[in-house]
Each structure stands twice: as structure tokens, then as C-alpha cells.
Amino acid sequence: MKEKKIQTISREMKHHLPFTLGASLFAGILVAVFYYLGRVPSEELFEIAHPAHVAVSAVATSALYWKYKKSIWESVLIGIVGAISIGSLSDVVFPFLAGNLLSLDTTFHLPIIEEPLLILGVALFGAVLGMYSDLFRVSHVLHVFLSIFASLFYILAFSIELNSLGILLISGLVFLTVYVPCCISDIVFPILFLNKPCESCGHWHDGK
């Protein structure tokens, strides 16, 4: 039986919900413990986590698209655009909004504007790697973890100082800022560009 796109998207989102929620809570607890034991270099860690997140996001997005449609330019373009746009939302825009919603005086810091060559470079590398490696599942897991840590480190780096309890509470908001963008980038975004479901399995593939 063939699935509609919305059914495929809904199924995939439900499938990834438990893992993302668990990973968010685990990351929140881990960061809170380290924060309690000593100062965490949040800004430096964000500067590492965000480019790494963009790279693995590009791998996952281009890998899924390439699996069903062997178009180099489309796979690379979708990988780069999806990784940078959605990565900026989950790592920067949503944490910025969440921080200010909670009166944390979070400031705005967008790496694609401040370091465009670095972000474009890692996105291009990830998109090309994704086409020639079967790394979708691995890169999606890394994508979620890196996005969670990048979001947490962004709030810690560019907001007023928080205690360990505050970090744990924020990890719940981080789940929301990560779950939707990561699944959109890795799953929804590529599916939207595929033409029709496979005749044999009913899932969304390209017809070529």
C-alpha cells in the first residue's frame, strides 16, 4: 500500500520522538553535572559543535536524497541548504528566542554570517560525503546529539549565568528546538523533493 508524503513524514517523526527526547534529557543532565563541577567553556564548545552539526546534517540530508535520486547537484544543494538553514534555526534562532522568552538576555550570534567560509565549507564537505557513504543512520544520530549540545552551549554562552537546575529545565526547551528542525532537515526536507513512492514498498523514492 502506497503512503502519502504526509503519512511518511508523520511516521518518521513519531519514530524519532523517543530518541530525541531521551538524548535531550541525557545531554541536559551531562552538561548540568559538568557545569556544577566547574566552569564549562560554553562559547568555545558552541564554536565546535555548530560546524560539526552542520557537517553531519549535510551528510544525512544528501545521503537520503542521493539514495533515491542519483543527482549530484541536487543532492549537494539540498544537503547544503538544508543543513545551514535548519542548523541555524535549531542551534541559534530557536535557542535565542527561548532564552529571551525566559528572560535570560540571550544575545544573537549567527555563524553563517560571521564565519561564512567555515560554515559553507563544512556543509559542502558533508553533502559530498553523504552521497558516497551509507551513513544516514549514523549521521542522523550524531546530528541530533550535536544539535542538542550546540543549542545548550549557545544558551549558556550568550545568556546570563545559569545554575545546574536551570540547565536541566532548559533541556526540555532544547528538545523542542532540536526535534522539529533536525527531523525536518534529515527527513522531511529530502522527502519533499522526491517525486513519487516506490511501487514495491510504498515509501517515497524518486521515479528514475
Cell of 119: 560554515
At residue 30, φ and ψ (nearest 5 deg) are -60, -50
Which DSSP state fits 197? E
Q: Please report the pLDDT score of residue 116 as a whole number.
A: 97
pLDDT tens digits, one per residue of 25-46:
787 788 777 777 777 788 999 9
Is the model more confident about 165 or about 128? 128
pLDDT tens digits, one per residue of 146-198:
888 898 899 989 998 877 777 777 777 777 777 667 666 666 666 666 655 54
Do 114 and 85 touch, CB atoms closer than 8 A?
no
Q: How many CB atoms lie within 10 A of CB 4?
A: 11
Instruction: Indicate if the pLDDT at residue 9 is higher than 80.
Output: no
Verdict on whether the full-model pTM lies above 0.85:
no
Q: How many CB atoms lie within 10 A of CB 8?
A: 19
* Residue whose C-alpha cell reads 535570560 in the numeric block: 104
pLDDT tens digits, one per residue of 15-25:
767 777 777 77
pLDDT tens digits, one per residue of 40-81:
788 999 999 999 999 988 988 888 788 777 889 999 999 999
Q: Please report the pLDDT score of residue 91 as a whole number.
A: 92
